[in-house]
Structure 1
């Protein structure tokens, strides 16, 4: 496989396309991380619930512990205050649940913002690059076989390019005209940006 052309014009186009592909991926990674950070800001209410629930739980737990020391009503009062502790735990659990949903949403949204554009790139850009690499690599192996390159040129060059020959290039190829064969081979190599 030959990933890049030898000729400067095609090589420049390939390098620009590859840099644009890398830039495309980098752009979407940046967008995804920015959106991820924005979505994570939505966890603030959940953090508030966790803090408030923890504070309520601690206050009621301390009050229940102190109430146990009271004669006659201590255990009943401690039991009643225990319900406040449970309410604090419920708030804390609700806060953790909200934080979990926000964090999971932020992760999957960021993942989608990376995966979809990268898949689009892999479906559009990568097959073109692979096809060129295979075609150029196989063609470069034929540099020392001008007859095969000339035959390939006869089947792949545009009619306009073939019409620019002073005589019919197919006749020149069939009769073994080395000038025509060499020119056809050179054009086939040049079409892929491969040096002769």
Structure 2
């Protein structure tokens, strides 16, 4: 499939358009990355909550273990500390879950931020380039044969303006119907030019002349009178 033109002007336009699409996608990728980084920064508070609650749970549990050694009332004193340690542990788990949730949300927001612009860029590129690639590829195949060049000439008659057609022949349609090879060639090249493709290779249609036998000079003998 021919994605790019062969003539410099259209080829440069296509390359510039492709670079613009890539620049658009790169810009939105950077924006999506920034959104993800912002969401990741928001997990700092949740991670601190997880760390502090986990530390508090450990301290309370340790204090309960020490109080348990108090004679007679040790178990009674330990029970509130164990409950508090358990509650602090639950807060630690909640902080961890919150950090994971914020991180996942940041990833999702980053993907959503980039997905729509990416899809739009690919859609616009495909709508413009794929139809051109099909037409250009077909035209490139047709220009290789005389019958194909006649088809290209017909397409030029159907799609090009009168001013362009008159640059090829004063009677372009009639010339094509009559099989005028120079006019057909010119019309085919006109269609190829519109697609940014090189013209067809010029075909010389020289007819071989019939070989004549060498003619000798007829010398008349004059008899003396």
Length-normalised TM-score, structure 1:
0.94
The residue aligned with 1:43 is 43
* Distance (Å, rounded) in 1 between the aligned partners of 2:163 and 2:46: 69
CA contact (8 A) 2:136 2:197 kept: yes
Q: What SS does the aligned partner of 1:137 have?
A: helix
Within the alignment, does 1:193 sit opposite 2:200 as a pair? no
Query: Which fold has the larger relative contact order, with Cα–Cα distance below 8 Å and residues 6 or more apart in sequence?
Result: 1
Superposed displacement of residue 160, structure 1: 3.9
Structure 2-normalised TM-score? 0.82
4+ aligned runs moved over 4 Å, structure 1: 163-166
CA-atom RMSD, angstroms? 1.4
| 1:116 lines up with 2:116 in the alignment | yes
In terms of fraction of residues, the more helix-rich structure is 1
Matched ranges for 1:89-108 at <5 A: 89-108=89-108
Instruction: Give the C-alpha shift of residue 13 in structure 1.
Output: 0.7
Partner of 1:149: 152
Task: Decide which structure has the larger Cα Rg and report it.
Answer: 2
**Contact between 1:52 and 1:91, CA under 8 Å: does it hold in 2?**
no
1:24 aligns with 2:24: yes
Question: What is the Cα deviation at residue 121 of structure 1?
Answer: 1.1
Deviation at residue 183 of structure 1 after TM alignment: 0.9
* Aligned counterpart, 1:136: 136
Measured in 1, the distance between the counterparts of 2:132 and 2:72 equals 90
Aligned length: 196
* Structure 2 unpaired stretches of 5+: 200-225
Q: Do residues 78 (structure 1) and 78 (structure 2) align?
A: yes
